[in-house]
Structure 1
Amino acid sequence: MRTVLICDDEPIIRMSLKNRLKELGFGEIIECGDGEAAVQSALSRLPDIAILDVSMPKMDGISAARAIRKKLKIPILLLTACIDPDTVNKAKEVGVAAFLTKPFRDQDLWPAIELAFAHAHEIDELKEQVEDLKETIESRKVIEKAKGVLMRTQGLSEPEAFRKMQKLAMDKRKSLRQIADAILLTES
């Protein structure tokens, strides 16, 4: 069951949003009326998504979104009566998922939320892939260094050194990276 934080200083907008979000199946709806409360609520209650008004007392929506996204990587939608290029640029820098213009239409809310969740999921997957690639590259570097050590210390050719490392990995039931790390440890 999804949780949503809605923050707008206009109670009528919050009520309208809350009713529509209930219809969309959100189980818990956290409400507040200013940017500082939005940040505090988000960090203490950990919603799945946040919908923030751009213009709020105490802290504007973009500043609140920035503070929330420093700690939580949740999708954030911004509500605004008018969108100007400066606001859009600031929102992009913060990582805001979408804008909804006031008065928002019911039919605009669901697609914006679904696209925000899909985009957040896609970004998470891409970050995982990047981390995996970094790890693979790092492993290749270590394996190449270890291969060089074997070539230098045992007078092996490159294919022979690699084959020796593969055989050690199979015999000892270790990864090639673990064998390479061990070779480099004995070298130093």
Structure 2
Amino acid sequence: MRTVLICDDEPIIRMSLKKRLQELGFDEIMECGDGEAAVKTALARMPDMVMLDVAMPKLDGISAAREIRKKLKIPILLLTACYDQETVRKAKEAGVAALLTKPFRDQDLWPAIELAFAHASEVEELKEEVEDLKESIETRKVIERAKGVLMQRQALTEPEAFRKMQKLAMDKRKSMRQIAEAILLTE
């Protein structure tokens, strides 16, 4: 089930967009008319995607996108009549996945949506990879420090200290990081 939130202060645009999105297979289409309502609705209902007009009352679309992206990692499409460099720059900084200029053609909508979903998925995968790499680096640092402690305490060579930690990990059925952290606690 695909869900989308449309936020535009012009009801006629929302109605037209809703009809087109239903044709594209969206099951639930939520609507609102200002940026503050967009943020509240998105955080409460958690749609799969949000489409925001740039120029809206109470909170502009880029600011609303920024607020939504702080909590939800979903694709956001901006609808705008103006596409100057500053708007594009701000949209990129806010984490917007795509920008459609009004009046947009029906044939532009589906590719923008598909690319936005693909882009959002790719970004999340890259973020997960970065987190995994950070964790690996942190684990290596802990293991290296523990190895140094063993080398100093027990006059072991680096390979001997590493093998000792490996054996402890296997014997105690713990990870190398857990063994390294235990060694560092006894320091």
Q: Which interval holds the TM-score relative to the shorter structure?
A: over 0.9
What residue in structure 1 maps to residue 156 of structure 2?
156
- The equivalences for 1:14-25 within 5 A come to 14-25=14-25
What residue in structure 2 maps to residue 115 of structure 1?
115
Letter in 2 for 1:41: T
- 1:39 aligned to 2:39? yes
What residue in structure 1 maps to residue 106 of structure 2?
106
Whole-angstrom distance in 2 between the partners of 1:179 and 1:35? 51
- 1:9 aligned to 2:6? no
What residue in structure 2 maps to residue 170 of structure 1?
170
Cα shift at 1:162 = 0.7
Over residues 105-155 of structure 1, what are the superposed CA-to-partner deviations in whole Å (9 max), with x where a residue is unaligned?
111111111111111111111111111111111111111111111111111
Structure 2: stretches of 5+ with no match in the other structure: none
What residue in structure 2 maps to residue 30 of structure 1?
30
Q: Aligned-residue CA RMSD in angstroms?
A: 1.0
Cα shift at 1:82 = 2.1
Letter in 2 for 1:127: K
Q: Is the 8 A contact 2:73 2:124 kept in 1?
A: no
What residue in structure 2 maps to residue 77 of structure 1?
77
TM-score norm. by structure 1 comes to: 0.96
State the secondary structure of the residue aligned to 2:186.
helix
Cα shift at 1:161 = 0.7
Whole-angstrom distance in 1 between the partners of 2:66 and 2:168? 50
What residue in structure 1 maps to residue 180 of structure 2?
180
Over residues 146-185 of structure 1, what are the superposed CA-to-partner deviations in whole Å (9 max), with x where a residue is unaligned?
1111111111111111111111111111111111111111
- 1:130 aligned to 2:130? yes
Over residues 56-113 of structure 1, what are the superposed CA-to-partner deviations in whole Å (9 max), with x where a residue is unaligned?
1222111211221122221110111121111111111111111111111111111111
Whole-angstrom distance in 2 between the partners of 1:176 and 1:70? 35
State the secondary structure of the residue aligned to 1:38.
helix
Whole-angstrom distance in 2 between the partners of 1:179 and 1:63? 47
State the secondary structure of the residue aligned to 2:109.
helix
Cα shift at 1:51 = 0.5
What residue in structure 2 maps to residue 97 of structure 1?
97
What residue in structure 2 maps to residue 143 of structure 1?
143
